[in-house]
Amino acid sequence: MLTPQQVTVGRLLEAPAGAPEFVVDVIAGRQGLSRTVRSPHVQKTGLALAGFHEYIRAGRVLVFGESEVRFLESRSHADRLDITRRLLEHDIPCILSTAGLRPVDELVDACDVSGVPLLVTPTSTGTAIAAITARLEEHLAERVSLHGTLVDLLGLGVLILGESGIGKSECALDLIARGHHRLVADDVVDVRRRAESSLEGTAPEAARFFMEVRGVGVIDVQALFGVSAVIASKAIGLVVQLDRWDPTLDYERLGLDERWHTLLGVRVPLVRMPVAPGRSVATLVEVAARHQLLKARGYHPARALVDRIADMQRAETERGE
C-alpha cells in the first residue's frame, strides 16, 4: 500500500533523529501548522511578488530570502496589502523567511488571519533550502509495505519474496546464524524510494529485529545473536523470488539474460529461485548475492564462459585451416 505523499508543516518542523540543527520560529499563522506540504521542492517567490502568480506551485514551501523581504519593504503600504492578499490566495502550506529577516507587518498580519504559518530561521538562504529539502525528501519519499524479508548479505541488501510458508524467514535465519549476515526486516518490509534510482528498506518500528519462526514462535534476533546480527535499514540491491519447484518449467541455466523487479518505479536485479527438498535455499541466496556483487564489479561469469568457448572454437577453426 502506497503512503500518501504529504506532511504537515508541524511535523516538518520536528527535527528527525540525527539531523543537523535547524532553528525555526513560528511568528504568525500558528493555527495552520496542520496544513500539508505535498512537494519535496521549495519555491522562491520573486516573480510571484512582482505579479507573475502563475509561477506559484500548490503545496510547496515558499522561501523568502533577502531580495523578497527587501522588495516588500520598498513597496507602499497599499501595495504590500495587495501583494500579500494575492499571494495568500494560492495553496501555500507555509512561508519560510531566511537569514533572520522578519517580513513586513502586512504579511505577518495576513498570515495570522489566513492561517498560513510564517516561519523565520537565522540560517542563510542556501543552507535553509538544503535543510528543509532534506526533511521534505525524508517525509515525502514514496513508500510501500511488502510481505517479505530483507537481509544484508556482505553489504548487499537482498529482498527475499515469495508466498507465505515458502521459507523466507527460515532462509534469513540460516544466513544470520552463519555470523556474517544481518537482518533488516522480516515478514513486513517498509520500502521507500531515495533519489531517482535507490530503494531503502527497513522494518516497522514495533516489529524491528523480531522474526516469526514456525515451530519456535517469535524470536528476538538482536537478543539471540547480538547487535552485529541486525541493521536498521539497507539499500536494496537484489530481489530473490522464491518459487515452489515446478518440473514443467524451464528454469534459468546460464544466466545470460538479465531479469528485473520494478518497485516504486526503480528496477532492481531479480533472481527467481526454485525451492525444492534437498536444495539449501540459504546457500543459494548467498551465492546469488555474491554473484550479483561480482557482476556489479564488472565480471559476468556466464558471459565469460560464452566468450571462452567462442575463443576455443575460433582457435580450433584457425588450426583446421
Phi, psi of 216 (to 5 degrees): -110, -45
Cell 565469460, residue located: 304
Q: Which three cell numbers stand for residue 109?
A: 498580519
Supply the DSSP symbol for 183: E
Supply the DSSP symbol for 57: -
Contacts of 70 (CB under 8 A, 6+ apart): none
User: What is the distance between the alpha carbons of residues 196 and 141, in angstroms, rounded to a whole number?
Assistant: 10
User: What is the distance between the alpha carbons of residues 216 and 31, in angstroms, rounded to a whole number?
Assistant: 51
Please report, as a single letter, which amino acid is at residue 261: H
DSSP code per residue over 129-168: HHHHHHHHHHHHS-EEEEEEEEEEETTEEEEEEESTTSSH
Nearest to 308 by CA among 299, 297, 320, 295: 299
Run of H or E including 275:
strand 266-275
Q: Are 14 and 99 in contact (CB under 8 A)?
A: no
User: What is the distance between the alpha carbons of residues 137 and 148, in angstroms, rounded to a whole number?
Assistant: 25
Q: Are 99 and 127 in contact (CB under 8 A)?
A: no
C-alpha distances in angstroms, 314 versus 62, 250, 308, 310? 66, 30, 10, 6
- The catalytic site residues sit at 147, 168, 187, 253
Q: How many CB atoms lie within 10 A of CB 220?
A: 12
User: What is the distance between the alpha carbons of residues 287 and 276, in angstroms, rounded to a whole number?
Assistant: 17
